[in-house]
Amino acid sequence: MFNDFFEMRGVWDKKYPKISKRWRTHWKNFNAFFGYPADIRKAIYTTNAIELLNSVIRQTIKKRKVLPTDDPVRKVIYLAIKDASKKWNMPMQNWRLAMRGFIIEFGDRLSDHL
């Protein structure tokens, strides 16, 4: 995995130096993430609710360039979250497969919650 990272750096360092620097700084976190099986990585990535929420808020605020006070900002954010939450009830694809991976990796910690 680390060899692939160095190979990628050779290609992308000049074009995206800040991204490459961030990867080097946080390599331990990335490496831990890539250590999990693909099913678990997908479950972690696709269920990142905080990132999804931030994305919804950013997109909504970006559409409205000028908001005169904090009150309209609060209302716009509230309505964006309310609208987005309607879509969040859809089940994750291949959840059973991911759950098997979670049980294999973290069975001792999950047993009380299953």
pLDDT over 60 (residue 18): yes
Report the interhelical angle of 70-85 vs 49-63 (nearest 10°).
130
48 band by pLDDT with thresholds 50, 70 and 90: low
CA angle 43, 53, 20 (to 5 degrees): 70
> Around 88, how many Cα atoms within 13 Å sit in the side-chain half-sphere?
13
**pTM attached to this predicted model:** 0.46
pLDDT over 70 (residue 107): yes
Question: Residue 96's pLDDT is what?
Answer: 82
Question: Could you tell me what percent of the chain has a pLDDT over 70?
Answer: 86
Q: How far apart are CA 88 and CA 80, in angstroms?
A: 13
